[in-house]
Amino acid sequence: MSADATTGWSVMGTGTIATEHMVNAIRAIGHHPLWVVSRRKRDAADFAEDLEIPKCSTDLARVLRDPAVGFSYVSARLARRPHYISAAAGAGKHVLCDGPIAPTSKAAAAMVNACRNAGVLLAVNQPFRASGVHQTMRRLIADGEVGQVLSVLVVRGGPHGLGFRRSEPPDESDKIFLGASVDDIDLARFLTNAEPVEVNAVSSPPGDLPSLLAYTLRLDNGGILQVHESFRT
């Protein structure tokens, strides 16, 4: 089946989530990844070959001019995501982006406004929400099967700096806590249907790489969210 603007995608960035999950997810709904875009030609070519995507380029404008592309999936490093989102929105492409979509809340709000003004959809990929386990937990909580949830504890961690497949190591090591925190807080929001209203946090002394972070959030339903994130081996 040939692709058109109702099924064609460009993949912007060559991240692990795209490699291991999202390209297959796009195909699973009957859509077609048509292009890979990366700042590095070798990365784009390797990714396209590995994932059997027909075209690759470092020229973003060229990709967005393709009339067969109706959607853009952004899996680039955090600092590059606003650039890709703005470009795709300006070209009239709907956007799916890994979260967080920008390094700051101000930049994220600007991306939301850019897509709204362009009349395109901006969706954030939050993989934790797609988990069958988490969806079952959400249903049980909503149905009152476990009573009122007053405390949520999230603990995650592992060695930092592993699993990067492309030619260069990541240049945003200090942003790993932002991505992890967005995921963890959104998971609590998803499970409890509550919003954070107050936060307290403490971290290990800053160094070359992130290591430890702990924080507590008070939710508007009276519950407490506690999170511990560690990336020290």
32-51 tens-digit pLDDT: 999 999 999 999 999 999 99
Please tell me the distance from the alpha carbon of residue 220 to that of residue 114, in angstroms, as a whole number: 30
pLDDT tens-digit series, residues 184-228: 999 999 999 999 999 999 887 766 555 788 999 999 999 999 999
What does the DSSP 8-state code read for residue 145? Answer: T
Distance CA 51, CA 58 (A): 17
What are the distances in angstroms from CA 142 to CA 12, 127, 219? Answer: 37, 20, 16
Distance CA 222, CA 88 (A): 40
* Location of structure tokens 């959104």: 186
Please state the domain extents for the chain: 8-125, 129-230
| Max Cα-Cα span within the chain | 55
Q: Could you tell me what percentage of the chain is helix, strand and coil, using 3-state DSSP and rounding each to the nearest 5? A: 40, 25, 35
pTM: 0.84
8-125 to CATH, choices 3.10.450.50, 3.40.50.300, 3.40.50.720, 3.40.640.10: 3.40.50.720
Which CATH code is given to the segment(s) 129-230?
3.30.360.10
What pLDDT is recorded for position 161?
53
Position 186, amino acid: D
